[in-house]
Amino acid sequence: MTADWESLLAEGARGLGLELTADQKDAFRTYLRLLLDWNLRVNLTAITDPAEIAVKHFVDSLSCRRAARLAGKRTVDVGSGGGFPGVPLALVEPVELTLIESSQKRARFLERLVAELGLRAAVLAARAEEVGQDPTYRESFDVALCRGVSALATLCEYCLPLVRRGGAFVASKGPRVDQEMASGRAAGEMLGGRLDRVIDYELPGGRGERRLVVYQKVAPTPPRFPRRAGLPSKRPLCS
């Protein structure tokens, strides 16, 4: 690993108004080391170049701050995988974080990561549909985050049932999300959400365009949602 990735991370964070401390830089070094080590055994990321990880995973995750400040808020990261975007955000803001990951192997990685980084975070090895129907977690979070390749309507069904009224859901998507916006808006309304805004940005060094789709939770989610495991992805609402 070269220092180049650290410079890219620091520069990207600075562009978001963040000046990383020495302790935060150490934490990101630990994160990168664990991610690359575990990725040899568990499929966490297809990106293995440290510079690309710094920008496309770390800085991109931090970019969610463009949509919501998480300090002091109860936050859930749905389908966390390698910890994105929740863990990088928790390294720069004091947040009460819950990571939901259905893969047992990835969940074990997240447990190890959280322990080594000393984060205040819980890991749930479960499907989002199951957690969304659990009274312990349903409509209990201030903010839900999801960085996924699923259709926007599917992500709404995963995430909006977890968000309290007055809270927000932020979906981190690629530049081609326009074709999903109509069904995503309609699905959000069915689930008690209202499409608030879309934030466009470009990753440092021309490494790609990204969009944050932001929903506000304006009404309770009807009890029938989320549907049973698998249905939100197989039969997205309003598609």
pLDDT (tens digit per residue) in 6-15: 999 999 999 9
Closest to 119 measured CA to CA, from 167, 146, 155, 80: 80
* Residue 239 placed within a domain: no
pLDDT of residue 1: 44
Q: What is the DSSP string of 180-233?
A: GHHHHHHHHHHTTEEEEEEEEEE-GGG--EEEEEEEEE-SPPPTT-S-STTHHH
Q: For the chain, what is the domain count?
A: 1
pLDDT tens digits for the chain (239 residues)?
A: 445 999 999 999 999 999 999 999 999 999 999 999 999 999 999 999 999 999 999 999 999 999 988 989 999 999 999 999 999 999 999 999 999 999 999 999 999 999 999 998 999 999 999 999 999 999 999 999 999 878 999 999 999 999 999 999 999 998 888 889 999 999 999 999 999 999 999 998 888 899 999 999 999 999 999 999 999 999 999 87
DSSP annotation of 179 reads G
* Residue 151 placed within a domain: yes
* Residue 37 placed within a domain: yes
Range of the domain at 61: 4-234
- Indicate the length of the chain as a whole number: 239
* Residue 99 placed within a domain: yes
Q: What is the DSSP string of 104-165?
A: HHHHHHHHHHHHHHT--EEEE-S-HHHHHT-TTTTT-EEEEEEE-SS-HHHHHHHHGGGEEE
* Residue 131 placed within a domain: yes
* Residue 135 placed within a domain: yes
Instruction: Give the CATH number of the domain where residue 34 resides.
Output: 3.40.50.150
